[in-house]
Structure 1
Amino acid sequence: MNRKTHTLYMIGGSADQTVVLTRLLDNLPDRSWQMGTADSADLLLVDVDSVYGHMDWLKAQSTGRPVAAVSSGDAHSAEYHLRKPFTVTALASLLADVAARVPARGIPAPRHVANAVEPAVATPAAAPARPAPAPPAVVEPPKAAVPPPVAVPAVPQTLIDLLGSEGQPGKRWRLRHDGLPPLVLDGSHQLAYSQDVSLKALSPWCTQALTAVKLEQLDATTLVPATRNLASLPYARLSWLAHLLGSNGQLEEQLDPLGRYKLARWPQSEREFPKHFRIATAMMKAHATVEEIAEASGSPAADVANFINAYNASGHIEIESAARDAGSDQRRSGLFGRNR
């Protein structure tokens, strides 16, 4: 009887695909593979043709286990590939390649019971019965240390996630989406590449959720042909635009909605956004809330919030937090203060 020594798990596939895989495993000459669970499977199969296929692919690769791309076409960047529709021959070839690199776990043989009772041996009646020998002490094997859980990096959701201070430093990405020119990000040199690097052309990328984007990680070799004949611009400029357009008129989560904001220095003016001149003029005078800046500049509060998001990302904004000021007022009204 062949033992099941390896397991696999399907991510992003349909229930029908899982049923087909199970049946094919039962028909393989080598019966050492079976379906397992996502957290312990030796091999992860990811349907990269699904809606979240590329996000699932990046997350699966971070586990450190073998990952096979499941697709109806070619998967040129994948080490392992299983083409749809599945066949016994293709599945057997894939599993043989993976099994050669993954050690078989097997099924442990039953342990010998150390304190089994030996059958009694008859002795002459005149001879006194000897006490049975004490059973040998059972020595438990040392417990294997349990490795700490591996932290799975957060999946990037917006362009800000890829450009920010915690956004994949040093990594290189190519972004594709229907109707938009490809965008290449080179984190190692803090440069972005596209056919047109004007703010108007790049604006749709700043409002596009990455869940609908084909996201491909590049290396130093593939970066060169991917950026050939493309124009470039600094990360800082694209980051400014992403923060300006990516929050839909609301202050970003880390900014205090009741805080007071002021420009530390005059920013670079962008002709595509003429309203920014009035907002910048109002914010050069003194710290003020979003509503106060909107009233002083004659601009909508949503435009002011977007302006603050963008120039805070570029280091132009001074902030007086309302929560911090409230704490200071509370301390002043303590033991030596006066409450009116």
Structure 2
Amino acid sequence: MHPTYAEVTAAAERISGYTRPVVAARADADTVPIAGEVWLALEHMQHTGSFKARGAANFALAQREQGLLPKVGITIASGGNAGVACAWAARLVDSTATVFLPDSAPAVKVSRLRALGAQVLCGGDAYADAAAECERYAATSGALRSHAYNDPYIAAGAGTLLDEIVAQLPGLDTVVVAVGGGGLLTGITVSANHHGVRVVAVEPERCRAFNAALEAGETVDVEIDSVAADSLGARRVTPMALSAAAEGDVRSVLVTDKQIIAARRTLWDCRRLAVEHAAAAALAALLSGAYVPAPGERVAVIICGANTDPIDLVAR
């Protein structure tokens, strides 16, 4: 069951003072040459370099409130960003984090984890393999099991982002968001449903767990093969995401890796924003024409993460 809007507002109160308010910046015609009014929600400037800090803080603080934090700490499986956020949030509550990563996790994210004092363990070839190792560790150690996206506290924390965007952009028509496992999509959609905002859910063509679930009418496994797979590479979307989407105006669109790479380059060339490929996926939907706003439509594009190695952006 997905979180309620009341749980999103409770999360906003809980994490206030711990997370950074999002910055919304108007996109000029050089960045997004379309008819609509486009704003970039610069959530890559959040603590830990991604929106994941919101859900992680909400989870950790809620567990502390309920007296559920074990001495052995918190454990999570992650492609990188959720693990970094978990390690950061664990420090907020004087705890520790053990993070299981797939072998393909980017080195920049591994370095961030170690800098935050997390114990980093390898968990196999893919996120699903790391998740299985994490489950075994939690069962044997007694560590509190967190989840990168399939948890109501995580999703509710992510939903606080749209409330902040709407407060800055009254009359917002549409929010465009990249989708992996569905935690961000769930929270954003719950908030969007409350405010009457359309959600455009963007996925790589070869990382389409949400899109495939919509087609099938239920969650299904998909193959993962994308330049953005380290952040968007969930094999299966959460039932929460499907449930929240069924209650509002959610459109699913797909983009190619080539389009994601081009959008990431545009953010660097036009705005000097060094972001990861997943963060560029949402913008790719507009630049590629996968989603075409109506003239005058007010659109917010969530730039969700910046845990990347920018060397390929600056090198020519």
Please, what TM-score do these two structures have when normalized by structure 2?
0.23
Bigger CA radius of gyration: 1
> Where is the helix percentage greater, Structure 1 or Structure 2?
2
* Higher relative contact order, structure no. (Cα contacts within 8 Å, ≥ 6 residues apart): 2
Please, what TM-score do these two structures have when normalized by structure 1?
0.22
